[in-house]
Amino acid sequence: MNTEIENIYKELGISDKVYQFSREILDSLSARFCAIDQNAEYNQLKVIKAMQDNKVSEACLLGTTGYGYNDLGRDTLEAVYASVFHTEDALVRPQITCGTHALALALMSNLRPGDELLSPVGKPYDTLEEVIGIRPSKGSLAEYNITYRQVDLLTDGSFDYENIKKAINEKTKLVTIQRSKGYQTRPTFSVQRIGELISFIKKIKLDVICMVDNCYGEFVERMEPTDVGADMAVGSLIKNPGGGLAPIGGYIVGKKECVENAAYRLTSPGLGKEVGASLGILKDFYQGIFLAPTVTAGALKGAIFAANVYEKLGFHVVPNATETRHDIIQAVTFGTPQGVIAFCKGIQAAAPVDSFVTPEPWDMPGYDSKVIMAAGAFVSGSSIELSADGPIKPPYAVYFQGGLTYEHARFGIMKTLQNVIDTGLVAL
């Protein structure tokens, strides 16, 4: 049996040494993988229960065209999301084009001129800088006289409660909390820590809206931010909750009023959730959230495997080999451009689609250095699929995430290791 497996790895370019090294690391991870499987089991049942409670039927998988009035499948799917996240309401639409759009929608629809937005967790994700107007942009919140305040984390990564308290004032209407670290070096927050921060904020100002950017965090834990007091959680369907099947889309779950505001902004005042044809997309949205808990678990195992491989070889990895996970992102610092490039080429070579192309660093718009990206995805740009990218600048770190199956994520990491070894950067 095992020789068969070894042989097929060999056919795919994995040496005996890399196979054995990986095997030993994976054997040492079985207890952690078991805990991840148990979370996946819990979350799988949570999704199934939500589908059953909301009577998902075969008819729900069909779509509407035109205005999309009385779209049973769309409305039921939104009820399923509301059940999964334990919220009053949900907006889950293919007309929400990406995660940034979902976040912009949640912000722009719930803030009014004269209001202030607060980020108590430091700088938000890059693309939100233009939404907020930190970097001037057409249509930003700043253009509508919505001001922004930010409180950075303390140097040890903890919340700066004293300055958060000082920053909350009579104008503060909405607080945005980003769960995942994104491309920063701070740790990702656990749902529990997010809950502590929300409690603190609500004690100072009860009616402030607490929104969580939930990107990359869905189904990593058993609880979601909406279980610990968040008024809204927002994310992308081409990340965790789409399960790899959703080809587009975003979601906003939360308080009825918050979701309603977002719906009126997405479509039109007076129309709200009543319009928005689902076309033929619903089956993928349903099947995607059904698969999301196990897909997320596979991606998590891949990330932990990568952390253990590269930490053992002496590289700095975030999160490290042993710490608990709150999102699916793994960073590995190579310290050299060659390392970043070899890693990305390995991810590409492991892909089911476009495995034969060679990624090269290029001058991507919006970045101040060359960037190399690897993805052989079924859905373009999907980062729940196995993917990696790294800016070609110090400290020469690569960010890697995803894998629709654990087996694929594992193979991808082995392929990166093989490439890094073949490039002569390390030896086993």
Min. distance of Cβ 290 from ligand PLP in angstroms? Answer: 21
Instruction: Tell me if 373 contacts ligand PLP by CB under 6 A.
Output: no
Eight-state DSSP code of residue 361: -
Complete DSSP assignment for 323-342: S--SSS-EEEE-SSHHHHHH
* Region 4-23 residues binding ligand PLP, contact defined as CB under 6 A: none
- Look at strands 116-119 and 250-254 and give their pairing: unpaired
- Name the minimum Å distance from CB 387 to ligand PLP: 11
Nearest to 209 by CA among 172, 183, 235, 234: 172
The residue among 328 and 349 lying less far from ligand PLP, judged by its C-beta, is 328
Q: Does 215 bind ligand PLP (CB under 6 A)?
A: yes
CA distances from residue 58 to 44, 55, 119, 123, 374 in whole angstroms, order as listed: 20, 10, 42, 44, 37
Residue nearest to ligand PLP (CB): 99
Task: Pick the closer one to ligand PLP by CB: 61 or 234.
Answer: 234
**Residue 172 corresponds to which tokens in the numbers above?**
């503060």
Segment near ligand PLP (CB under 6 A); pick from 98-106, 158-166, 264-272, 369-377: 98-106
Q: How far is the CB of 218 from ligand PLP (least distance, A)?
A: 11
Binder of ligand PLP out of 216, 219, 285, 310 (CB under 6 A): 216
Binding span for ligand PLP by CB under 6 A among 6-14, 41-49, 92-100, 291-299: 92-100
Question: Is residue 293 involved in binding ligand PLP (CB under 6 A)?
Answer: no
Stretch that binds ligand PLP, among 175-183, 272-280, 315-323, 368-376 (CB under 6 A): 175-183
What is the nearest approach in angstroms of ligand PLP to the Cβ of residue 366? Answer: 12
Q: How far is the CB of 204 from ligand PLP (least distance, A)?
A: 25
Return the residues of window 219-278 that contact ligand PLP according to CB under 6 A: 236
- Residue 162 CA: distances (Å) to CA of 154, 167, 201, 229, 384: 11, 9, 11, 21, 37
For residues 303-322, b (16+ Cβ closer than 10 Å) or e, as one string? bbbbbbbbbebebebbbebe
Q: Does 104 bind ligand PLP (CB under 6 A)?
A: no
Q: Which is nearer to ligand PLP, 40 or 328 (CB)?
A: 328
- Interacting residues with ligand PLP between 115 and 134 (CB under 6 A): 125, 127
Please give the Cα distance from 420 to 356 (Å, whole number). 18
Nearer to ligand PLP, 215 or 306 (CB): 215
182 binds ligand PLP (CB under 6 A): yes
Strands 209-213 and 397-401: unpaired
**Position among 89, 116, 213, 284 found at the interface with ligand PLP (CB under 6 A):** 213
User: Closest separation between CB of residue 12 and ligand PLP, Å?
Assistant: 30
The single-letter DSSP state of residue 362 is B
* Residue 176 C-beta: closest distance to ligand PLP, Å: 10
Based on CB atoms, which residue is closest to ligand PLP, 68 or 99? 99
Interface residue with ligand PLP among 87, 172, 176, 180 (CB under 6 A) is: 180
| Residue pointed to by tokens 């005042």 | 269
By CB under 6 A, residue 95 contacts ligand PLP:
no
Kindly tell me which of 242 and 376 has the beta carbon lying closer to ligand PLP.
242
Name the H helices within 54-171: 72-84, 99-110, 126-132, 161-167
Closest separation in Å from C-beta 422 to ligand PLP: 31
Q: Are 273 and 77 in contact (CB under 8 A)?
A: no
> What is the chain's percent helix, strand, coil content, to nearest 5?
45, 15, 40
Contacts of 199 (CB under 8 A, 6+ apart): 229
**Residue 179 vs residues 115, 118, 355, 377, 426: alpha-carbon distances, Å:** 23, 15, 32, 25, 34
Residue ranges binding ligand PLP (CB under 6 A): 98-100, 125, 127, 178, 180, 182, 213, 215-216, 236
